[in-house]
Structure 1
Amino acid sequence: MSQQSQGDALDWAVPIMRAGYAGRGLTYLAIAGISLWAIWSGGSAQGTQSALSRLQGTPGGGIVLGLIAIGLIAYCVWRVLDAIFDLEAYGTDGKAIVARIGMVVTGLIHAALGIAAFTILYGTGTGGSGISGLTRKALDLPMGQFLVGAGAVATIGAGLYYLKKAVTGDYQDNLQANHFTVNWNWVLKAGVAAQGVIVTIVGGFFLVAALTYDASEAGGMDKVFNWLSSQPFGQTIVVVICLGLLAFALFCFVNAAYRIVPRASSEDVETLAKRVKSKVSD
């Protein structure tokens, strides 16, 4: 089968990918937007679950919440399909296998958020993250501290990987080059960096929870915001991070529109990385 016919055979996965990234973008747009509004109103930044719960009470919020839930489930499906069929051509060496396993884990995390959004939408749950409770259950398992610690190290690694992508611009390899992606590349870079900071801090919380055998030390984005707020110039840092999350939301929307899927895309698609390199050489 030719490269082109193989790509045509896998085109069915692309709409799922686009829906997934759109849902992910809506999620971060809601978190950052609601958090910035809360800060402006004299409150504090909101974690994922709190932001989604607040969204339910706004005009049209139920529709957006439904789109977020569907999108996050689609993102999970996309990541699982990506890992199984190697749609982004990672390969089968050790590094590639780790990356593909990471895709599945990332997908499952987003599926959990999507399910939480559904429970908020239909009033069957409060949207509480329950991260401490889940961490306590994990710690109580045989070798629980090791498992939580390993998860923490993996999360920190994922955060550092985001930061590496922001510095090196590796994310540009998966985006089409066009007027928008070229001119807004600096915003995309800032968004990837902001996500890297948050994921790394979350991993740090889980590592402390594992080392101290204290599940209350674990937490998600709400704990990140609370911790950052307690630092010198904390509120300013939180505002900067929220602006970074707006940029990451844009990054997700750009991926929804312009992400290249190597095994389902034409070979003549110019990548953003290639365009940026050509501009630098000029």
Structure 2
Amino acid sequence: MRAGYAARGVIYVLVGSLAFWAAFSPSQPEGTKDALSQLRAAPLGIAMLSFIAIGLFAYMIWRIIAGVADVEEHGRGAKGIFARAGQIVTGVIHGGIGLWVMALAIGSARDGQNSQIAWIQALLDLPGGRPIVATGALVLAGAGVYYVKKGAFSEYQDHLASAPLLSRIDPLLKYGLIIYGGLLVLVAVSFGFAAWNGEAAQSGGLGQALQSLRDLAFGRVLLGFAGLGLIAFALYNLAEAVWRIVPTIDGPGVETMRRAAQRLT
């Protein structure tokens, strides 16, 4: 779990930094896979990619175990089953990304954007393909709203252990979650257009969402805020790597951020 969150933190530090740089330079904002592709050429880049891949594999294993064994105590009701299924699905998705990152490290990865478009076009070409892609867009939008809600109402404070440093950076954690959720909604909108028009090329990832911000009025300012938000989201993932509480492992006696705040007030 902690290795997985750390790997996610490294990824979004890269994406956020490149986005912030693109706000004040001629370069284009990069999505997750493009940012990782640039990392490969850096000193120790292959070693870093290997670390990220291993972390994502570890995160996959953690999410699948968490969903099957219910170590975070979601329960067996409809809401709990949905949350646990979501853990398993996101675990498998991160495992797939980990495979791509490992392939990138050894020099055999395909272009991420072209691969995504090919997969979506294959789905669109199936009978009922458009509703399938549209459903995926709705799920992605729901995930975005979830992150916004998680940040806006400080829900993350229920599963992070109390620590003085976390109290000081709490506004950054909130900001990062809200920005990341908003960007996921933008990605979902592009998938919705792809489903509506039957054109896989209209679907975009995080890089296209960032580019769409830069194309707006005051776009470079918006892109700069988005880049900083992704760096803050990376900070949130790193906080999860260090202070995440797992109820069935850590026990009920660990003081959370929320409990500490309530005690002080």
Establish whether residue 47 from structure 1 lines up as the match of residue 39 from structure 2: no
Match of 1:135 in 2: 120
Establish whether residue 100 from structure 1 lines up as the match of residue 84 from structure 2: yes
RMSD: 1.4
Match for residue 68 of structure 2 among 79, 84, 97: 84
- 8 Å CA contact retained: 2:20, 2:226: no
Q: How does 1:117-196 map to 2 (within 5 A)?
A: 117-129=101-113, 130-196=115-181
Match for residue 43 of structure 2 among 43, 59, 62: 59
**Alignment deviations for residues 149-190 of structure 1 (CA, whole Å, 9 cap, x no partner):** 111111100100111111111111110011111111111111
Structure 2 vs 1, CA of residues 215 and 149 (structure 1 numbering), >3 Å: closer, same or farther?
A: same
Looking at structure 1, the residues matched to 66 and 24 of structure 2 have their Cα atoms a distance apart, in angstroms, of 40
- 8 Å CA contact retained: 1:88, 1:262: yes
Looking at structure 1, the residues matched to 2 and 35 of structure 2 have their Cα atoms a distance apart, in angstroms, of 23
Shift of residue 35, structure 1, vs aligned partner: 3.2
**Alignment deviations for residues 216-274 of structure 1 (CA, whole Å, 9 cap, x no partner):** 11111111112111111111111111101111111001101000001111221001111
Looking at structure 2, the residues matched to 176 and 116 of structure 1 have their Cα atoms a distance apart, in angstroms, of 33
- 8 Å CA contact retained: 2:46, 2:105: yes
Equivalent residues, number: 264
- 8 Å CA contact retained: 2:144, 2:181: yes
Shift of residue 127, structure 1, vs aligned partner: 4.1
Q: How does 1:233-272 map to 2 (within 5 A)?
A: 233-272=218-257
Identity %: 36
Which blocks of at least 5 consecutive residues in structure 2 are unaligned?
none
Establish whether residue 276 from structure 1 lines up as the match of residue 261 from structure 2: yes
**Alignment deviations for residues 183-211 of structure 1 (CA, whole Å, 9 cap, x no partner):** 11111111111110111111111111111
Shift of residue 126, structure 1, vs aligned partner: 4.1
- Aligned residue type for 1:119: A
Shift of residue 28, structure 1, vs aligned partner: 0.8
- Aligned residue type for 2:249: A
- Aligned residue type for 1:49: K
Looking at structure 2, the residues matched to 55 and 227 of structure 1 have their Cα atoms a distance apart, in angstroms, of 23
Structure 2 vs 1, CA of residues 47 and 92 (structure 1 numbering), >3 Å: closer, same or farther?
A: same
Match of 2:96 in 1: 112
Shift of residue 276, structure 1, vs aligned partner: 2.1
- 8 Å CA contact retained: 2:23, 2:223: no
- 8 Å CA contact retained: 1:53, 1:127: no
Establish whether residue 22 from structure 1 lines up as the match of residue 6 from structure 2: yes
